[in-house]
Copies of this chain bind each other. A is one copy, B any other.
């Protein structure tokens, strides 16, 4: 008699409208096994496409699977098999920023080729969030972590890395921790950009950079300085502006610099936000000046004036980092790597057509 109820579909329809909409329990392989009158192991075999099952039996199982709406529970599978379902975590500052989303897309592409799911999390430049997210991802037993550092101490990751969680850092090196890193050639790119201005005969070149706490800002400033000194000039600190974090700050800096007695004849903007501000202000004033900006960006070719940009393959940062990571996950235990993505100078702006 007990047999009669055993085919009961968990949370199935056809019940009386109970007072509580019972959260439908997902069927397990045990349910399927009972329904198909086989052992759970056989169900496991069928569900995992293992060969040694007679077609007829497999059919019965598959039918039961469909009838019950069975879906293998990856959590249990991961627990038992020891290898957690493949996944890697990516911690960036802000997914809405095209720079980061390009990296994320590249990482995701590599992850997919490795049959791995990507968990994306934004740190919002908050070191505590970064830390919490990283640790949470470790608890979820991701196979690896890709992180664009926001904080200035990544030592907290050391225990997990010793336990086998791989981590690769993107765009900026980690602090107080040794790990694989992929960076852009910030110094070389800035140097080439400013050298371009020097070669064009400029003597008074304004250098506009972001907050000094930002790794790339400092590197790019160093590159700019190197180019100026290589050109036999000296860096006039009155022409250096830092702490510029958005287009408005870039605009203000340009306005202020052009108001000086001896204004600069060229501008080096150390990132695309500043570049946009510079272009806006110069256009507004119909002012003459050569502009070089670090970072290329969407529609830069439609800017209303010529601009030279220090371009590089953003996706390559994510791609190279992900390849590195999957290499490590696969067991590569070679020495720590540091990959430098090269830059090139490109002419942009609509007058350059």
Contacting residues of chain A (113-140) with chain B, CB-CB under 8 angstroms: 117-122, 135-140
Category for how many chain A residues contact B: 35 or more
Q: List the B residue with the shortest CB-CB distance to A349.
A: B304
C-alpha spacing A87/B102, complex, angstroms: 23
User: What per-residue 1/0 map shows which CB atoms of A250-266 lie under 8 Å from chain B?
Assistant: 00000000000000000
User: What per-residue 1/0 map shows which CB atoms of A58-74 lie under 8 Å from chain B?
Assistant: 00000000000101111
Among A108, A119, A140, max chain B CB count under 10 A is at: A140
C-alpha spacing A74/B141, complex, angstroms: 7
Given A96-B101, A104-B95, also A23-B162 (CB < 8 A): no
Chain B nearest Cβ from A150, distance in angstroms: 15
Q: List the B residue with the shortest CB-CB distance to A315.
A: B96
Q: List the B residue with the shortest CB-CB distance to A351.
A: B304
Given A117-B140, A302-B303, also A333-B71 (CB < 8 A): no
User: What per-residue 1/0 map shows which CB atoms of A66-101 lie under 8 Å from chain B?
Assistant: 000101111110110000110100000011101001
Chain B nearest Cβ from A158, distance in angstroms: 9
C-alpha spacing A160/B69, complex, angstroms: 7
Residues in B neighbouring A69, C-beta threshold 8 A: 159-160, 162-163
Contacting residues of chain A (122-174) with chain B, CB-CB under 8 angstroms: 122, 135-141, 159-160, 162-164
- Contact across chains for B73 and A141 when beta carbons are under 8 A apart: yes
Q: Does A16 touch B at the CB level, under 8 Å?
A: no
Q: Select one of B24, B71, B95 contacting A138, CB under 8 A.
A: B71
Q: Select one of B23, B87, B105 contacting A94, CB under 8 A.
A: B105
Q: Select one of B105, B164, B283 contacting A350, CB under 8 A.
A: B283
Q: Does A51 touch B at the CB level, under 8 Å?
A: no
Chain B nearest Cβ from A192, distance in angstroms: 24
Q: Does A54 touch B at the CB level, under 8 Å?
A: no
Q: Does A292 touch B at the CB level, under 8 Å?
A: no
C-alpha spacing A276/B303, complex, angstroms: 12
Q: Does A36 touch B at the CB level, under 8 Å?
A: no
C-alpha spacing A120/B106, complex, angstroms: 12
Residues in B neighbouring A24, C-beta threshold 8 A: 162-164
C-alpha spacing A284/B315, complex, angstroms: 30
Q: Does A279 touch B at the CB level, under 8 Å?
A: yes
Chain B nearest Cβ from A333, distance in angstroms: 7
- Contact across chains for B136 and A117 when beta carbons are under 8 A apart: yes
Give A residues with C-beta under 8 Å from B: 11, 21, 23-24, 26, 69, 71-76, 78-79, 84-85, 87, 94-96, 98, 101-102, 104-106, 108-109, 112, 117-122, 135-141, 159-160, 162-164, 276, 279-280, 283-284, 297-299, 302-304, 315, 333, 350, 353
